[in-house]
Structures are given as structure tokens and as C-alpha cells.
Structure 1
Amino acid sequence: MSSKFQTQAPTLVLLHGLLGDRHDWAEVSAGLDGVDCLALDLPGHGQNHRVRVASFEAFHHWLCDTLIDRGVSRYCLLGYSLGGRLALYHASRQPSGLEALWLESAHPGLPANERSARIAHDERWATRFEQEPLEDVLADWYQQPVFADLTEVQRTRQIQRRLGANHGPAVAKMLRATSLGHQPSLWQWLEDTSLPVGYFSGRRDAKFHHLASRLASLAPRLRHITLEGGHNLHSEQPDDISHNLNAWYQTLG
């Protein structure tokens, strides 16, 4: 890869999901060819576990300030699950310097009549994260239908990894602030935007694969990439994600 490409290509900013941290992207980053990456810990997570944001808009401003602090002026975003929803909201605010958006297993938003039920659902989980032993909450968290493709070995490994890296009350605050019930619907924005957008979905993740297929039918400019896997593709198929990102970056050369 030429030095010209390395200096001129936009930075790839990576946003993990709830309970994750910046290290979740290590295998994807390792497979990228000459791409400058910045994997961030979300507020309430990792090195930023003491950072609080009260809303999607507050996160948008936090990310803008963080990128300025890191000297990032041109960038692309890749976000998984919660990180994808936050990336999508940020992109919808049309920040200066954003050149592409990549989503992985991320929801564009609920219709208005479903939001209050989702807020109540997330509040129940937030209360548990605050009040119960983290190991007990995680054991139930990873039994949710969206994680149905995990084997018992994978589920146990995931729980052990998240157990040592998270603080229950911090997770609860982030979950409340960024509930899908508080997220505006961004389906129409995705249909209308001229920003390059890609969406990774796993064939074994029935809910989000169906959602992504529907989204692609409504937003013909959106690039839907289907991979063999479940919800957490950057963990299951990091090489495939890196391959697709490398191919896109090559078009900039």
C-alpha cells in the first residue's frame, strides 16, 4: 500500500456494542491493509467506564469532541449493535469529515408505538445490572434470542470475558441513555442519504438479517453484505469484514 494512500485515506473509527470494549475489534484491525484505525471505548465501558452520556445527542457531541482531541478530521465509522446505532445517529447529524458508514447488526429505529415497551424492557435489564451480581445478569443476557446461535462453550467464554471488563451500574446508565426506545427512527434517513452506507448481517441472525434485507429493499444505495454467522460478526468472521473494508478503501486510491 502506498504512503500516499496511508496518509490520505480517512481514519476508520470503530464502535463496539454494549458490554464490549475497543479490543473487540483487534482481529478486524489486524486484517486491514494500511488503514488507520481508531477503536474507541464507549462511555460506560473500558477506559471510559466513568464517562457518562445522557442521550444519543450527548453521545454525538462526545464523539465529535473525541475525534477533535485525537486529531481526526476525515473518517469512516463502523459500529456494532449499540455502537452501530450510535454511529447511525451520529451520521444522521451530518458531521463534518464523515465519509462512509458501516453498520453491523444495528437497528435503524422502532416505530413510535413500540418505543415505550422497549424503554420498559431496557429499564428492567438496567435495574438488574445495577442491583444483581454481574455474573447472574450476564448468564441471562446471553440467553436472549439474538444470541441463540452461540454454542454453550461460546456463551460461557463470552460471559467470562465480559465479567472482568464491566461495571454493572455503568452499563445500566448507558443502557438507559441509549435504549432503542429513545432512538429516533432513521429508516428514512438511510433511504435518502448520499453517504456511502454498508450493512453487515449474519445469515444465522434471523432478526437482523431480515431487517437488513428489508432496509436494502427500501434504500437501494445501501450495500447489504451477508456473511455466514450470527449477531457478532466481527468476532465470528473478522477476515470477511476486513476483506470488505479493504476493498472499499481500495476504491479511494
Structure 2
Amino acid sequence: MASNPESRGLPLVLLHGLLGDGHDWQDVIDALPGIECHALDLPGYGRNQHLRVDGFDEANAWLSGELETRGIRHYRLAGYSLGGRLALYHASHSPAGLQALLLENCHPGLPSGERAARLRHDEEWASRFEHEPLAEVLADWYRQPVFADLDEDGRARQLARRLGNDGRAVAAMLRATSLGKQPELAPWLASTGLPLTWISGNRDQKFHRLACQLVEQGCNINHLALDGGHNLHADQPERFAACLRDWLGST
């Protein structure tokens, strides 16, 4: 999915989160006229529901191949949650064409001592997505603390939007890109010269706290805090698009 081919400037590549697809960015794209946007479907989702990757290296190879297929050589990259983690991993491998990075409610990676517990946690969810009715798993998924800003109507809307997923594909991607498999990238963040903006929702206590900790550790990020929860670009697309416009203008 791409915007008007007559758009000007460096392309903006957008990566969605777990359970989503490229269409999640459409309201943001609509608020960015004149910007060439490429909202990709990650492996296991949308038009790529049939694709599988095994780990971050394969996911990064897929992303690099997708950019090459689209003829994108110089670009700016934005990602949300899982998409943010993949974008961060991609950036840490110093691709020549990447000019700037923006991450929304993203995790920089766990210390090695915490990864085994996270692998077990994600395997429990993956097994549920693989074997249980999707609606039942989603009902529990959206009751996790990270989605505490959602009321009953908000949870119902999210559940309805995600029923088009294939539980087996979700399980495969969850296993492949578990936070337990992601390297800790805070040291890279402390040394990179890449222009990097990090957006967190101050009502998403976990991810907002992570972003604040990165700033306190001296990481090279421009931290913006919005009044909102975990999925800022879906809940307030026009405001998020305004942040993107400012970021695009500054990079």
C-alpha cells in the first residue's frame, strides 16, 4: 500500500505492530498529503499472511528485500511496537540508505538474564493463538496492562479489527520475533548518530517509562511524550501525523 506516486521527498516506510497490517497506518497517511508513504504488511499479516520468517535476521532480510523490490534506496523508517523493534534492529545494522528513524512505544531489548522468561511468556501466548479460538485469545490479549487505556468499547473495536488474522501466522511471528530473541540495543542507541525520535504514550506506563529510562541513560534519542496509550497512531492519527510532519521536516 503506497500513497500518491507523485509524492515528493524521501519515502517514508511504515511498519505496523503485532496483529495489525499496513492498513493500520491509512488515517496517518491520509493526513500526510505530498509524502510518499509505504505501509508494509509484515510477514504473517495482510497480503503477506502466508510468509514466515525465523528470527530477527530473516525479518531484517525480508525488510531489505522489500525495500529493494520497491526501488527504495534512501528512506526514513517509522515503526510501532513490534514494527518498531524490527525497525530498530534494521537500523542497528547500519543500512546505507536509512536517513532517520522514528519509533512508537517500542522496546529496546531485554538484558540477557531476562530473555528466557520472556521466551516462555511469548510461547504461552503463541500456543494459545495456534490452538484456541482467535476471538477468545484476543479478548484476553487486549486485557493486558499495556492496553489499560482501552475501555470496553475500545477493546471490542480492537478485537473486531483483528479477527481477520490467522492464529497460526500470529503464533509463528510471535515466536520468531519474541522479545526474548531480540538483542539489547540500548548500547547502540547510546552511540548512533542516526537522527532518532522516540514517541511514547504517557498512559502506557511500561513503554513510557522505558523511553524515559533511555533518555536518562544518555541514549541519542529525541523523546516525545503524547497524552495517550499504547497505540497512538490509531487513536489520534492527526496528532501523530503532525509529529511525523515535524520529524520529516527536521530530517
TM-score (norm 2): 0.95
Spell out structure 1 runs of 4+ moving beyond 4 A: none
**In structure 2, how many angstroms separate the alpha carbons of the residues matched to 1:220 and 1:19?**
29
**What's the secondary structure of 2:38's corresponding residue?**
strand
SS of the residue corresponding to residue 123 of structure 2 reads helix
Gaps of 5+ in 1: none
**Aligned equivalent of 1:152:** 152
Q: What CA distance in whole angstroms lies between the structure 2 residues aligned with 1:91 and 1:251?
A: 18
Structure 2 counterpart of 1:191: 190
Instruction: Determine the C-alpha separation between the residues in 1 that align with 2:200 and 2:15.
Output: 16
| 2:114 is aligned with 1:126 | no
Shift of 1:168: 0.3
Quote the residue 2:117 is aligned against.
Answer: 117
Partner SS, residue 10 of structure 1:
strand
Mapped to 2, the partners of 1:28 and 1:132 lie a distance apart of 33
AA aligned to 1:205 is: D
Deviations 1:59-79 (A, max 9, x none): 111111100000111111110
Shift of 1:247: 1.7
Aligned residue pairs, count: 246
Shift of 1:251: 3.5
Aligned residue for 2:39, secondary structure, equals strand
Q: Distance in 2 between matches of 1:206 and 1:55?
A: 28
In the alignment, which residue of structure 2 is the partner of 1:203?
A: 202
Q: Is 1:54 paired with 2:54?
A: yes
Please list, as runs of the form range in 1=range in 2, the aligned pairs for 1:53-202 lying within 5 A after superposition. 53-163=53-163, 165-202=164-201
Deviations 1:232-252 (Å, cap 9, x if unpaired)? 000112112211221232235
Q: Is the 8 A contact 1:33 1:246 kept in 2?
A: no
Identify which range, 243-252 or 131-140, moves more after superposition. 243-252
Q: Secondary structure at the match of 1:27?
A: helix
Partner residue, 1:242: 241
- The separation in 1 between residues aligned to 2:229 and 2:100, in whole angstroms, is 24
Instruction: Output the amino acid matched with 1:248.
Output: W
Counterpart CA distance in 1 for 2:167 and 2:210 is 30
Identity value in percent:
57
Length-normalised TM-score, structure 1: 0.94
- Are positions 1:27 and 2:27 aligned together? yes
Aligned to 2:214: 215
Using the alignment, how far apart are the partners of 2:249 and 2:34 within structure 1?
Answer: 10
Tell me, yes or no, if the aligned pair for 1:81 and 1:107 is still in contact at 8 Å. yes
2:54 and 2:154 mapped to 1: Cα distance?
32
| Cα pair 1:108 1:187 within 8 Å, conserved | yes
Answer yes or no: is the 8 Å Cα contact 2:189–2:219 preserved in 1. Answer: no
Q: 1:221 deviation in Å? A: 3.3
Paired residue type of 1:150: L
2 CA distance for matches of 1:91 and 1:219? 18
1:10-69 CA distances to partner (integer Å, 9 max, x unpaired)? 211000000000010011111114211000000000100001100101011111110000
Which secondary structure does the structure 2 equivalent of 1:201 belong to? strand
Structure 2 stretches lacking a partner, 5+ long: 1-5
What is the identity, as a one-letter code, of the residue corresponding to 2:199?
Answer: F
